Copies of this chain bind each other. A is one copy, B any other.
Amino acid sequence: TEQTEVLFFPDEGLQCPRLNSRRGCLDPKCRSKHTPQSLARLEEILKSATKSCDVCMFVIASQQLIDILVELHLRGVHVRCIADNQDMDGVLHALRSNGILVKFDKSDYLMHHKFVVIDSKIVLTGSYNFSRGGMGINRENIVKVSYPHIVDAYVNEFNEMWRIYGKT
């Protein structure tokens, strides 16, 4: 998991949940994809968090990815989210009703980042938002980097915004 890695979207389809099971998929009628898909890999990386997950994302709207953040929060991972002032209500409801900390950039410029820092050790960054469109059909990329000097720079950027942005 220390390797630099890249994910491209869109996927061909949904990855079969049995793909990585011990016996694999035995259903000859299964219509899911039996090759690795980027969304499944993104979810796997997010779920690997054990201590913290800092999400700094222009748009956070995908229920499927929000569910993962809630799952992390429920098992004790410290989840913090920063978003732009787009779609604030939806994000506020979905995340805050589950007890997850959220801050918004309410300035007139855009908080246009799309990055996640996991356990202060891994950065995911690229064009991909946690949006509905990002999920399915857009051409997008995410690069995963774990070099300490790079990760530290993103941690500092996140913490600076966390300090600046009020609680709404």
Interface size on A, as a range, is 35 or more
Q: A125-B126, A126-B125, A139-B161 are in contact. Are A145 and B4 (CB under 8 A)?
A: yes
CA distance A58 to B161 in the complex (A): 25
Which residues on A are within 8 Å of B, measured CB to CB?
4-6, 8, 10, 58, 105, 109-115, 123, 125-128, 133-134, 137-141, 143, 145, 147, 149-150, 153-154, 157, 161
Residue in chain B with minimal CB distance to A82: B139
Q: A10-B109, A125-B127 are in contact. Are A143 and B138 (CB under 8 A)?
A: no
Residue in chain B with minimal CB distance to A149: B4
State how many copies of this chain the complex holds.
2
CA distance A114 to B114 in the complex (A): 12
Least Cβ–Cβ distance between A132 and chain B, in angstroms: 12
Contact A109 B127 (CB under 8 A): no
Q: Which of B10, B114, B147 contacts A4 (CB 8 A)?
A: B147
Contact A112 B125 (CB under 8 A): no
Least Cβ–Cβ distance between A3 and chain B, in angstroms: 9
Q: Which of B113, B115, B125, B127 contacts A113 (CB 8 A)?
A: B127
Residue in chain B with minimal CB distance to A10: B109
Residue in chain B with minimal CB distance to A110: B138
Contact B161 A141 (CB under 8 A): no
Contact B127 A141 (CB under 8 A): no
Contact A6 B127 (CB under 8 A): no
Least Cβ–Cβ distance between A81 and chain B, in angstroms: 15
